[in-house]
A = this chain, B = another copy of it.
Amino acid sequence: MPYSLLKENIKKYVEISNEELDTICSFFKPQIIKKKEFLLTQGDIYKFEGFVIEGCFRVFTIDKKGNENVLYFASKDWWVMDIDSFMNQKPSHLNIQALEDSKVFLIHRTNKLALYESLPIVEKLFRVMSQKALVAWQRRLIRNNTYSARERYLHFTSTYPNIATKLTDKQIASYLGITHEFLSKIKKQA
């Protein structure tokens, strides 16, 4: 099983032994998600945390008017989860859908909780991971408040060129918080 991608990812966050890595990886099971299939549908209680090996996912909400709003995209080497639903075992507000045939490693909640108990480094791993993610979300919020739609678009495509090419303009617009019609006009004059 090619756990190397996951192992390298974890090593970016913490210093960790090979034994510990093997233990952690042993709880992650591969799963194929076909294009357009859902890893999570809102209302469900999320029981798995995922790490993307291949393909791409979109994580999005649907508001009362039925508008979809993309929270983030997760492609190879990204984590994908609904922390709120996973932690508190309450119905999710999020939807997670494969944009192409994808492969993820999933860890069941029970196993993750056990790992927290048995392997202290796992607490640190997810503490550091969460803190880094927090910083990224704060930055994104500041960008949303200070950049124009055009600037946000250019920032996104230059920061995540690999992901951007996999996406339709509709999906990118939804991530940027604008209509796809307006994105089309932005691109024309870019």
Q: Name A's B-contacting residues (CB within 8 A).
A: 61, 63, 67, 69, 71, 83-84, 87, 116, 120, 123-124, 126-128, 130-135, 137-138, 140-142, 144-146, 177
Contacts and interface: CB of A to CB of B under 8 A. Distances in A.
B135 A83 contact: yes
Nearest to A71: B138
Given A69-B146, A146-B67, A83 B131 contact: yes
Question: Is the contact region of chain A dominated by helix, strand, or loop, or is it mixed?
Answer: helix
A84 B123 contact: no
13 contacts: A63-B146, A69-B142, A69-B145, A83-B135, A116-B124, A124-B127, A127-B127, A130-B130, A134-B137, A137-B141, A140-B141, A144-B177, A146-B177
A95 to B, nearest CB: 12
A133 B87 CA distance: 13
B142 A145 contact: no
* Cβ-closest 3 pairs across A and B: A145-B177, A130-B130, A127-B127
